[in-house]
Homo-oligomer: A and B are copies of this chain.
Amino acid sequence: MTVRSRTGYALDRTVKKGIPLARETRERVLRTARDLVHGASLAEVGIEEICAEAGVHRGSLYHFFPSKDALGLAVLDANWDLMRAMLDEAFQAAVEPLDRIDRFIQGFGRMLGLMRQKMGTTPGCPLGGLTAELSAQPGPGRDRAQAVLEEWAGYFSGAVHEAQVRGQVSRSVDPHAAALRILAFVQGMALLAKVYDRPDRVVATRETIRALIAAD
């Protein structure tokens, strides 16, 4: 893969570290930060560490992100983009509503397995750990964390509601409450997967999800 640039020093860096073309710096920083934070936590990852790994100078990072907190929020959003992509792939209209949830959970488990191979250890949920960290005090971090979880739950509650319309789930079930049960279960399973270093622990069976929906 060849990279073009008229920037002398940029080209030099390119040869050594790869692709710090002007407008890509922000994305490089964000992606690097996302990966490092996923493997540890925001508090454990230093600005300098991110810069070194991304092949970028401190000043450049602070040109795009006013503070570490702001970077943390951006990482949360980036992780949510990732998760939403997985959700969109699983939640296709052609698939039966409840099967969409199963498909997502399968995909989520596969992702953790891949991360384990890549990083040598099983990370937790990219959103779970970060939302917890950002929610330690009230403020924009917690607000954003709530919004993200709410959006995530929306995927589940939508599927449950659609299943009700199709007569596959009792009308007495509150779709949003059911969605929160599923979300909680997925988060908890991700935690166990991390602690036990066994990604297959995440893969909840169809039966468990069905039971969780019906349990009102």
Contacts and interface: CB of A to CB of B under 8 A. Distances in A.
Interface of A: 39-41, 43-44, 121, 124, 128-129, 131-133, 135-138, 142, 145-146, 149, 180-181, 183-189, 191-192, 194-197, 201, 205, 207-208, 210-212, 214-216
A105 B184 CA distance: 15
Number of copies: 2
B207 A216 contact: yes
A44 B149 CA distance: 24
Nearest to A186: B188
A181 to B, nearest CB: 6
12 contacts: A43-B43, A43-B44, A132-B194, A132-B195, A135-B197, A138-B197, A145-B195, A181-B185, A187-B187, A211-B211, A211-B215, A212-B215
B40 A41 contact: no
A166 to B, nearest CB: 21
B197 A207 contact: no
